[in-house]
Structure 1
């Protein structure tokens, strides 16, 4: 078990409070993270990709040392610009040939950055696909997501992709709640449709929800109820109902249509992770 390091004065004072995370690029991380971007840019020639994708000033690529100019770039009007550069560098790093003749492998650079961000108390971490930054979340919640993705991929390769995308959209440095919620729905559909609607020509989560609701007597949970017998699937059906009805931006123009909030998107992603894990790991089974 890894024990989290705490500074001497905090240990002596018996402090166990959760550390405040730093947004943007705090001063104590500026040199190591900028050095990381420079090293990656020199090793894999990623400067052009990053500069073009982020629409950075042409002065960077026109300079005598574009990689160094990129690593030292700042914008007084955008205090997130360098984290966007780190994010775009990760995306470029994810696209290079991992077996090329490099001084260091791409995964080594990703591991180094994750260590820097974690030890420096950054509010950001590397996403599950390794191709960008996401907001750092509680390790227990992240573990739940990882286990759900593993279970989905074990059921069918790439079935966990929607859950990964939902997480990235909910917790990325530029969150997109609508996309996060939509991908959360698709994540559950990816594992539920083949199990509960294998012959349906147009299976949807709504159809799965209706099928399980009407056929509650046909299924049971692997977990026991208060009498020691397999529990019913009421909890799963209600969670499906919550996820399905909560997507208020599915159709526009209706009296109950609403934009998806960030809080709703995050909740939907974790509800989907739980459902995906239950379904893909046979937590819900036929009697």
Structure 2
């Protein structure tokens, strides 16, 4: 996660020894109180003997696999996901109690300098990133939702795909593009039957003289939209796995996916807040 996290020595990956007991105790309490052991075990396709023990919650909370060092994190992630689903139909009072449990885990991870944190909606784990970057993302989600809820949904999904415990760079990049399309297409191509980010890029590129930024350039006049066109071009052309078989086709790297998500966040914030205006 180079470039998006604090220096590696500050944060511990996996579940190190100093976090093992607190995390196990937290898992046991949540698995027991919400009867989640069976759901989590089935979700992760774990050995059935776990559920045949006298106390499946305790067995699952302590379960390890030497061949899969990420398993404990996967169990925590799945537990949060199952709890999130259960609470979608729960009574308000139960939601409050569960939120306290989630906050308890977040405190354990934070105080133990874990490289992982809980996602904003509490549905799983994600890699911890710099708070400034996360704040930019949060503002973009809020701004995007004000224009199109699908933009916020796509951006949340892009972030989860990029920073979840099992990142999917290709999916993250694709979602980032969709998030920008959701706010840019209605604004710049309102009548286009099949708008894409590529068509938005062409529209702005060819119509630079029609738009300006709310920020001034060095002369004091409204700045051109060159930076916007450059960022959209970077995002659009950088998705090298959009089509297979071409001479420049290539898998999306983790670093590229992270950059795409944060580029999309800035573009969504600018577009949604009116930073790009018609002259």
TM-score by length of 1: 0.91
Measured after TM superposition, the shift of residue 128 of structure 1 is: 3.1
Find the aligned partners of 1:50 and 1:132 in 2 and give their Cα distance: 13
Per the alignment, in what secondary structure is the counterpart of residue 134 of structure 1?
Answer: strand
Of 265, 274, 280, the match for 2:272: 280
Match of 2:31 in 1: 41
Q: CA deviation at 1:158?
A: 4.1
Aligned residues: 271
Once the two structures are TM-superposed, the CA of residue 103 in structure 1 deviates from its matched residue by: 9.4
Are 2:177 and 1:185 equivalent residues in the alignment?
yes
Structure 1 regions of 5+ residues with no counterpart?
1-16
| Ranges of 4+ aligned residues in structure 1 off by more than 3 Å | 100-104
Pair 1:122-2:122 in alignment:
no
Asked if 2 retains the 8 angstrom alpha-carbon contact of 1:24 and 1:80, the reply is yes
Displacement of 1:102: 4.0
Q: Are 2:83 and 1:93 equivalent residues in the alignment?
A: yes
Deviation by residue 1:235-287 (Cα, 9 ceiling, x = unmatched):
00000000000000000011110001111111111111111111111111111
Separation in 1, partners of 2:61, 2:96: 19
Contact 2:136–2:266 (8 Å) recurs in 1: yes
Partner residue of 1:149? 141
C-alpha contact (below 8 Å) 1:224/1:231 kept by paired residues: yes
Give the 5 Å matches for 1:90-239. 90-97=80-87, 98-99=90-91, 102=94, 105-239=97-231
Match 1:68 to one of 58, 64, 67: 58
Residue number among 245, 254, 257 corresponding to 1:253 in the alignment: 245
Q: Give the Å deviation of 1:126.
A: 1.2
> Could you say what secondary structure the match of 1:159 adopts?
helix
1:135 and 1:172 in contact (8 A); partners too: yes
Q: Is the 8 A contact 2:162 2:169 kept in 1?
A: yes
Distance in 1 between residues matched to 2:227 and 2:94, nearest whole Å: 51
Query: What is the RMSD of the two structures over their aligned residues, measured on CA atoms?
Result: 1.5
Matches within 5 A, 1:260-271: 260-271=252-263
- Which ranges in structure 2 are unaligned for 5 or more consecutive residues? 1-6
CA distance in 2, matches of 1:190, 1:224: 27
After superposition, the C-alpha distances for 1:166-206 in whole angstroms (9 at most, x for unaligned) are 11111111111100110110110011111111111111100
Secondary structure, counterpart of 1:45 in structure 2? coil
More helix by share: 2
Cα contact 2:150–2:182 (8 A) shared by 1: no
Q: TM-score, normalised by structure 2?
A: 0.93
Aligned CA distance change for structure 1 residues 193 and 104 (closer, same or farther; 3 Å): closer
Equivalent residues of 1:129, 1:164 under 8 A apart: no
Give the distance between the partners of 1:77 and 1:224, measured in 2 at CA. 57
Q: Which moved more, 1:159-168 or 1:231-240?
A: 159-168
Instruction: Give the conservation status (yes or no) of the 8 Å contact 1:43–1:102.
Output: no
